[in-house]
DNA sequence: ACGTGTATGCCTTCCATCCC
DNA sequence: GGGATGGAAGGCATACACGT
């Protein structure tokens, strides 16, 4: 591949302008993805000075960074040499302009007006605006845009407490539209990166009244790994649970998966064969977990359709094994809650503590029932506790029955 | 010299197809 | 229709090449 041409005087002026406009901290953190570096690269690629049919690496962000590093060599603010082998012209341009930034800016504007032939959108426009190519109304506009976004978000928060679900939905959708327009504008003027756009998308799925914005769920595999490790860390699994999880039939019934949830492994032998099924296909994650002095591998064959079964089991384990109560006592509390619910009698923290005065730390137990999703505080009130997951409640009553 | 791009291989996730 | 099976595709870490 032919070598890129040496830097032209005009290009060096633009590079030096960027160099001088930034502080030492900025220089210490630049990379090929720094917006100003990208912008300058795009500008240099669109000067009519650039040779036709130049290679794709012509004045790439990497080369811009290198040129900036070259200027660093001359900079007295750095007490050590940055890069040797700087160009002769680099030195000349540095000597000519490093103490005359205002004059350099004028020169750069002249270069751009005469030689820049490219598009001026996004980061490039921002860069040119900084140099004074355009009047900057952007700053002013962005200030108002920020205020609009802030107020829109306030509306969203208020919509969460709106009692009429249809009204809530209409407000949420309108807010969503507004935020999307603001977001698109921010991206268009290079104020926000493309990947930050996702934050707005989560609002689209918002269901309305009394529900938190829906966050994208962890992928099933990661979800299993993180929550199961949490159970192990809290020592929630009993010997009986472990036997259940190593049984193919039990796991098929409970989780609808085709392999035992966990499989005992022998660390003295190679693990690679122990994570395979009878046909030699890998069905377990290779990193074993340690539970009660025994190593186990976790089944990796989880699909999104299994999530509901696993979550149900997980919540049950968290309540039954995570609340320090006998099954009988837990059953009493849950039956009482169920009965009240059926008779439209409301529950409150105070009332339940009073009723179960003989159980220690009833307040903590109620918090755990809320955390597990069985109960919820209606409109964040401690005075009114309602059943959030009736099925889970009944499921646990069934499991704790004598 | 060093950050970035690319290739590689292993591991994980998910999909298409088969079979009961 | 739904579970079992095989394998494709995706994800990720790592090594290495590249540019200047």
Distance CA A395, CA A401 (A): 10
CA separation (Å) from A19 to A70, A127, A164? 10, 13, 57
User: Å between A37 CA and B2 C1'?
Assistant: 17
Residue A332: phi, psi to the nearest 5?
-60, -45
Decide: CB of A247 under 7 A of nucleic strand C: no
Decide: CB of A304 under 7 A of nucleic strand B: yes
Domain limits, chain A: 9-131, 138-204, 220-307, 323-400
- Asked if A130 and A139 touch (Cβ cutoff 8 Å), the reply is no
Q: Which residue from A263, A303, A256, A305 is spatially nearest to A284, judged by alpha carbons?
A: A263
Residue A203 has pLDDT above 50, yes or no: no
3-state SS class at A7: coil
User: Å between A285 CA and C11 C1'?
Assistant: 15
Distance CA A362, CA A360 (A): 6
pLDDT tens per residue across span A338-393: 999 888 888 888 899 999 999 888 988 998 898 888 888 776 566 778 888 888 88
Q: Mean pLDDT throughout A304-309? A: 69
Strand A294-298 relative to strand A262-264: parallel, antiparallel, unpaired? antiparallel
Range list of H helices, A3-52: 9-21, 24-29, 35-45
Structure tokens at A178: 């507004």
pLDDT tens per residue across span A267-304: 666 666 677 766 566 677 776 778 888 878 887 777 66
Distance CA A226, CA A219 (A): 11
Distance CA A130, CA A78 (A): 26
A323-400: CATH, from 1.10.10, 1.10.8, 1.10.760, 1.10.3470 = 1.10.10
**Hey, what long-range contacts does A24-28 have (CB within 8 A, 24 or more apart)?**
A24/A77, A24/A78, A27/A68, A27/A72
Mean pLDDT for chain A? 73
User: Å between A85 CA and C20 C1'?
Assistant: 10
* Largest Cα span, chain A: 91
Which nucleotide has its C1' atom closest to residue A1's CA? C19
Among chain A residues 62 through 81, which have CB within 7 angstroms of nucleic chain C?
62-63, 66
Decide: CB of A383 under 7 A of nucleic strand B: no
What pLDDT score was predicted for residue A330? 92
Residue A198 has pLDDT above 60, yes or no: no
Q: Which residue from A4, A129, A112 is spatially nearest to A64, judged by alpha carbons?
A: A4
Q: Mean pLDDT throughout A171-190? A: 68
Q: State the sign of the Cα–Cα–Cα–Cα dihedral A145, A133, A74, A84.
A: positive
Distance CA A333, CA A324 (A): 13
Residue A215 has pLDDT above 60, yes or no: no
Distance CA A118, CA A313 (A): 60
User: Å between A186 CA and C14 C1'?
Assistant: 37
Strand A289-291 relative to strand A294-298: parallel, antiparallel, unpaired? antiparallel
Decide: CB of A26 under 7 A of nucleic strand C: no
Decide: CB of A137 under 7 A of nucleic strand C: no
To which residue do tokens 């860390």 refer? Answer: A233
What pLDDT score was predicted for residue A337? 93
DSSP A156-192: HHHHHT-S-HHHHHHHHHHHHHHHHHHHHHHHHTTSS
Decide: CB of A32 under 7 A of nucleic strand B: yes
Alpha carbon distance, N-terminus to C-terminus of chain A = 81
């Amino acid at each position: 591949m032919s070598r890129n041409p040496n830097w032209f005087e005009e290009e060096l002026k633009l590079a030096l302008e960027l160099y001088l406009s930034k502080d030492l901290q900025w220089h210490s953190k630049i990379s090929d993805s720094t917006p100003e570096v990208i912008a300058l690269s795009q500008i240099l690629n669109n000067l009519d000075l650039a040779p036709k049919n130049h290679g794709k690496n012509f004045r790439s962000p990497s080369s811009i960074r290198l040129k900036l590093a070259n200027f660093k060599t001359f900079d007295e603010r750095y007490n050590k040499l940055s890069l040797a082998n700087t160009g002769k012209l680099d030195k000349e341009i540095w000597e000519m302009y490093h103490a005359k930034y205002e004059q350099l800016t004028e020169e750069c504007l002249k270069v751009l007006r005469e030689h820049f032939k490219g598009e001026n959108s996004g980061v490039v426009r921002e860069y040119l605006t900084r140099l004074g190519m355009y009047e900057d109304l952007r700053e002013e506009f962005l200030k108002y845009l920020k205020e609009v976004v802030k107020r829109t978000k306030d509306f969203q928060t208020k919509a969460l407490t709106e009692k009429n679900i249809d009204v809530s939905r209409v407000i949420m959708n309108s807010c969503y539209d507004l935020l999307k327009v603001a977001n698109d504008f921010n991206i268009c003027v290079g104020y926000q990166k493309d990947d930050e756009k996702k934050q707005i998308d989560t609002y689209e799925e918002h269901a309305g009244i009394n529900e938190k914005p829906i966050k994208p769920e962890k992928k099933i595999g990661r979800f299993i790994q993180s929550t199961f490790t949490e159970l192990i860390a809290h020592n929630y699994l009993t010997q009986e649970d472990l036997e259940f999880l190593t049984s193919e039939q039990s796991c098929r019934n409970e989780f609808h998966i085709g392999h035992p949830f966990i499989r005992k492994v022998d660390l003295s032998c190679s693990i690679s064969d122990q994570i395979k099924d009878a046909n030699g296909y890998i069905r377990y994650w290779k990193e074993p977990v340690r539970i009660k002095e025994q190593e186990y591998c976790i089944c990796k064959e989880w699909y999104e359709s299994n999530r509901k079964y696993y979550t149900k089991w997980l919540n049950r384990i968290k309540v039954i094994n995570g609340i320090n109560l006998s099954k009988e006592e837990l059953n009493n509390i849950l039956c009482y809650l169920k009965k009240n619910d059926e008779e439209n009698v409301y529950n409150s923290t105070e009332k339940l503590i009073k009723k179960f005065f003989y159980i220690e730390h009833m307040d903590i137990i109620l918090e755990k029932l809320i955390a597990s999703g069985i109960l919820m505080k209606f409109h964040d009130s401690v005075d009114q506790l309602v059943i959030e997951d009736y099925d889970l409640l009944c499921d646990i009553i069934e499991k704790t029955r004598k």
